[in-house]
Amino acid sequence: MTLPVPHQPQPSSPALTVLALGGYGAAGSYAVEHLRSRGHTVTTAGRDATRADLVLDLGDLAAVARAAASADVVLNTSGREDPRVVTAATGAGAAFVDITATATYIAGIEALDLAAPVALSVGIAPGLTNLLAHAAARQSTLPLDVAIVLGAGEQHGAAGAAWVYGMLGQSFVDPATGSPVRSYTRPATFDLPTGRRRLYRTDFSDQTTLTAELDRPVRSYFGLDSRFATTSLAALTWVPGARHLPTSIPMPGGERWYLQVRDAERVHGSATGVGQSRATGLMAALAVERVRAAGAGVHHLPSLMSVEDVDLTVFG
């Protein structure tokens, strides 16, 4: 097995024209702010006429293609997961970056015949987790466990909250064994900066991508920074219909997130920060600057950069 060689730091990206779908949302606004601060021209797009630079219905694929035709890169932070939007944008000649964490949506994009480059596994999980796992795999040949702890107290936006609740009671296919796994079950214990934590298997796409790329089992475990909130999710996953609970129900917790990658012998890498929406936006902005130079087709984040290319201190 040959692992990718870490990328060398690259000079600043030439100025790009970016179309940011949902660029006024929780993660998108941070990506837009960062890209503009680096000299890129960014147009936010969506149905909210009071916040978007361009009013755009993503269900109107012809309109998406027209808008994408004048952009170097389309960044999707809208939460809409429709492979036809990807096809419309790339068919118009734009590169595409998506912050999705949904494995089935990623698989749908990977099955497309793409006319331009598409960056996936962009954010902190997936995203930073993938970079940390690739770095760990250069030091270890053992299976890897990925710990993901997100801040329960942050306002994630409707899409993020719906994703956390939407996994309740749902099963996914373990990429290593092919067996079904119910989300928020099969716990494992991790030693984190906040102490020993019990985290649960969940349907993060990084484990699917990494198991294939690294040719070994990779398992993702998830929890919220609040132990009570995490335990509640593990209990609710057995309650019929719990995934349809109102996403506005507040949970106790803060805004700090933690990532860790380990094998059976030791911890190989970690990252932490305040505000996962901000961190996701910053990682998405990095991907936007890298993807345009890639070839047509799907590129997961480790094929565009390595963890050494990321200043982990910027996350707070």
The answer on 176 and 53 residing in a single domain is no
The answer on 46 and 174 residing in a single domain is no
Q: Considering only CA atoms, which of 228, 227, 233, 246 is closest in space to residue 201?
A: 233
Is the distance from CB of 124 to CB of 113 less than 8 angstroms?
no
Q: Is the model's pLDDT at 161 over the cut of 50? A: yes
Backbone angles phi, psi at 2, to 5 degrees: -110, 125
Average pLDDT over residues 90-112: 95
How many domains does one find in the chain?
A: 2
Backbone angles phi, psi at 284, to 5 degrees: -65, -40
Instruction: Write the CATH number for 152.
Output: 3.30.360.10
Q: Say if 315 falls within a structural domain.
A: no
DSSP characters for 122-145?
-SBTTBHHHHHHHHHHTT--S-EE
The answer on 163 and 65 residing in a single domain is no
DSSP characters for 23-59?
TTSTTHHHHHHHHHHTT-EEEEEES-TTT-SEE--TT
Helices 61-68 and 83-91 cross at an angle (nearest 10°) of 40
- Beta bridge partners, 191, equal 196
The answer on 287 and 245 residing in a single domain is no
State the pTM of this model: 0.91
For position 245, what pLDDT does the model report?
77
The answer on 284 and 269 residing in a single domain is no
The answer on 34 and 61 residing in a single domain is yes
For position 18, what pLDDT does the model report?
98
Instruction: Write the CATH number for 106.
Output: 3.40.50.720
The answer on 148 and 261 residing in a single domain is yes
Range of the domain at 251: 128-275
HEC string of 168-231?
CCCEEECCCCCCEEECCEEEEEEEECCEEEEEEECCCHHHHHHHHHHCCCEEEEEEECCHHHHH
Give 181 or 151, the one with higher predicted confidence.
181
Backbone angles phi, psi at 274, to 5 degrees: -110, 120
Q: How confident is the model at residue 10 (pLDDT cuts 50, 70, 90)?
A: very low
Burial-class residue 242 by CB neighbours within 10 Å (0-12, 13-18, 19+): middle
Pairing of strands 17-21, 41-46: parallel
Give 5 or 85, the one with higher predicted confidence.
85
Q: How confident is the model at residue 152 (pLDDT cuts 50, 70, 90)?
A: confident
Q: DSSP state, 17? A: E
The answer on 142 and 109 residing in a single domain is no
Q: Say if 229 falls within a structural domain.
A: yes
Is the distance from CB of 154 to CB of 273 less than 8 angstroms?
no
